[in-house]
């Protein structure tokens, strides 16, 4: 997948192209190789809200949730550990009237500024189904990160291990990213794909 709320700014065009508007029809991909996860050292991200741009994806479902009404958080999924990966849950909380989210969010790791993206964006998985959020309601999406550690983990030399300042998350069908701060989050610079994200479901 939204403790101090932070506002985000629009990414530059290059970042938007890399991790832009999340598709409503993600394509399933294979899971990364396995190793032993070490989720205990993972920083806890802070929830943030989107400022909204007013842009609308023509493929968005009827009643698409407004960006400015969504708060986004990312937390470790204590019950979803898998060999070689660290599981998280992205939560979208609706503060406005009833609305709909459908599909997988766009996710990438942000560097020291909004113009810096570290590595590849998350691969999207699953079959999109609309989720209706009442005021105060939530939708969740699973996020998985390869346990790259400091040496690349199961990705080996394909991953130049580094750290970022947090997550840049686009709600499904949104052009407006939300920055969820998580200083020190592990990442791979270069072309190795180390993140995968699923479609939203009722929270």
**Per residue in 42-70, pLDDT tens?**
455 655 555 455 567 899 999 999 999 99
Give residue 160's domain range. 13-202
Give how many domains the chain has, as a whole number. Answer: 1
Is 134 part of a structural domain of the chain? yes
Taking the whole predicted model, whether its pTM rises above 0.85 is answered as no
Count how many Cα atoms sit within 13 Å of the Cα of residue 129 in the half-sphere of its side chain. Answer: 7
Q: Is 119 contained in some domain?
A: yes
Residue 5 in any domain: the answer is no
Q: How far is CA 41 from CA 45, 76, 147, 170, 184, in A?
A: 12, 11, 11, 25, 10
| C-beta neighbour count of 63 within 10 angstroms | 15
Whether 8 is in a domain gets the answer no
User: In this structure, is residue 3 part of a structural domain?
Assistant: no
Using the predicted structure, report yes or no on whether residue 100 has a pLDDT greater than 90. Answer: yes
**Residue in 85, 36, 53 with CA at minimum distance from that of residue 170:** 53
């Amino acid at each position: 997948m939204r403790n101090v709320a932070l506002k985000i700014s629009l990414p530059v065009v290059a970042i938007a192209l890399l991790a832009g508007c999340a598709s409503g029809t993600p394509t399933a991909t294979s899971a990364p190789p396995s190793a032993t996860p070490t989720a205990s050292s993972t920083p806890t991200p802070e929830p943030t809200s989107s400022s909204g741009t007013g842009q609308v994806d023509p493929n968005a479902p009827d009643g698409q949730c407004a960006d400015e009404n969504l708060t986004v958080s990312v937390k470790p999924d204590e019950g979803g550990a898998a060999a070689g990966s660290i599981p998280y849950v992205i939560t979208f909380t609706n503060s406005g009237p009833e609305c709909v989210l459908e599909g997988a969010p766009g996710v990438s790791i942000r560097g020291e500024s909004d113009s810096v993206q570290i590595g590849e964006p998350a691969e999207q998985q699953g079959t999109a189904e609309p989720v209706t959020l009442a005021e105060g309601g939530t939708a969740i999406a699973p996020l998985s990160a390869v346990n790259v550690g400091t040496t690349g983990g199961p990705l080996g030399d394909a991953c130049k291990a580094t750290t970022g300042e947090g997550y840049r998350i686009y709600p499904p069908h949104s052009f407006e990213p939300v920055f969820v701060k998580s200083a020190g989050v592990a990442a791979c610079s270069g072309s190795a794909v180390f993140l995968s994200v699923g479609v939203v479901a009722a929270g």
